[in-house]
Amino acid sequence: MNFREIASFKFLLVLIPLLTFFVPKISTIVNSYLSKNQYFKEKIKLTNSELQNNSNKTENSDSSDESYLEIENEEEKQKDFFSLVSKEFYEFIKLIPEKEIQKLSDFLDDQFQVLSKLNLEENKLVALANTIILSKFSDLGLFNVAVIDTIEKLINDSLKILNLEQKSKYSQENYEQLKARSEKFAGSGKKSASCLLENIISISDPDFVLEESPVSYDKQVFISIEDFKRIVDAKIEYMENNATIVAKIQSKTLEFEIGSQEVYLNDIKSILPAPILNIDGMAYLPCTIISLLGTNVINISTIPAAIFY
């Protein structure tokens, strides 16, 4: 045995005891590390799972909140004037630029408040809302010419719902007489037109009927002063050869002259859309004069028709 072999043998004698001592220790440390590492892996896995669950809950919560907000917003949408009109009519309204709609926001809000207080069947409420929109938007020229015929058909359908029982309130003889007088006026000038009795409607008074023929002049619906007096419960006084008329309605005084568009309510001046007429010796007033006294009035020039509500 040479020197190298002797040295190697001595090294092994020293190494073997050392390995016998340290290998179990190292094995224990390694196993402990692996065990801990597995623990952390499981812990991380569990934590990720919890985070995912929490995330799902949050998403569900957010989704619920969004759904709630959508429902709430949808309810808010229903609390405006356009929620009252028919779906068919609303399709035409959507063609109008939003900026034009915004200009009428105050008017539409006011009308919604008025209609919300009316005790009407749903189909009549929808018909009235359709009619209000037509008259207002048509007056402002907001509907495209291409859809005017369709719009007028819709408003005629709405009027048929509103005046369903109106014609039956007149006897056949009385109806024909009043109709003939209206048609006679229609032939008196280019701006003159007849007006059907059933198209003068009072929403607040279901028993309302006219005693005189309604007429249309210069795109405005007119009623006789006698019918005006009954509608607003006024006391009428004639002055200065009957040219000046004073109507007293409770605490209000309305003064106007035949042939003039000027009218004074408690000395406050307003301008009517057309002058007071004299037809066969009787004063005729634009229906819109009644709006000065706090009653809502729709004047529909294309039909023609007028609705008090």
Q: For residue 271, what pLDDT is reported?
A: 98
Residue 153: pLDDT above 50? yes
| Closest listed residue to residue 304, CA positions, set 212, 217, 190 | 217
| Closest listed residue to residue 300, CA positions, set 176, 158, 190 | 158
Q: For residue 11, what pLDDT is reported?
A: 53
Q: For residue 140, what pLDDT is reported?
A: 87
- Token pair listed for 200: 């003068």
Residue 230: pLDDT above 90? yes
d(CA 207, CA 200) in angstroms, rounded, equals 12
Q: For residue 74, what pLDDT is reported?
A: 45
Residue 272: pLDDT above 90? yes
> What length is written for the chain?
309
In the predicted model, what is the mean pLDDT of residues 158-165? 93
Q: What is the mean pLDDT of the chain?
A: 82
Q: For residue 144, what pLDDT is reported?
A: 79
Q: What is the DSSP letter of 212?
A: S
The SS3 call for residue 137 is helix
Contacts of residue 130, Cβ cutoff 8 Å, sequence gap at least 6: 85, 86, 89, 154, 155, 158
Chain-centroid distance, C-alpha 119: 18
pLDDT band at 1; cut points 50, 70, 90:
low
pLDDT per residue as tens digits for the range 86-100 = 988 888 888 888 899
In the predicted model, what is the mean pLDDT of residues 265-294? 96
In the predicted model, what is the mean pLDDT of residues 280-305? 94
Sequence ranges of the domains in the chain: 1-77, 81-162, 169-308
- Where is pLDDT greater, at 291 or 47? 291
How much of the chain, in percent, has pLDDT values that exceed 90?
57
pLDDT per residue as tens digits for the range 12-65 = 555 555 555 554 555 555 455 444 455 444 544 554 555 455 555 545 555 555
Q: For residue 134, what pLDDT is reported?
A: 82
Lowest mean pLDDT among 17-21, 46-50, 106-110, 171-175: 46-50
Q: For residue 141, what pLDDT is reported?
A: 86
Chain-centroid distance, C-alpha 204: 22
Q: For residue 47, what pLDDT is reported?
A: 46
d(CA 299, CA 273) in angstroms, rounded, equals 11
Q: For residue 56, what pLDDT is reported?
A: 55
Q: For residue 139, what pLDDT is reported?
A: 83
- Where is pLDDT greater, at 279 or 31? 279
Range 169-308 has CATH code 3.30.70.3040: no
Peptide bond into 214 cis (omega under 30): no
Q: For residue 77, what pLDDT is reported?
A: 45
Residue 103 phi, psi dihedral angles, 5° rounding? -65, -25
State whether the Cα torsion 283-286-290-292 is positive or negative.
Answer: negative
- Token pair listed for 161: 């719902």
pLDDT per residue as tens digits for the range 178-188 = 999 999 999 99
In the predicted model, what is the mean pLDDT of residues 267-295? 96
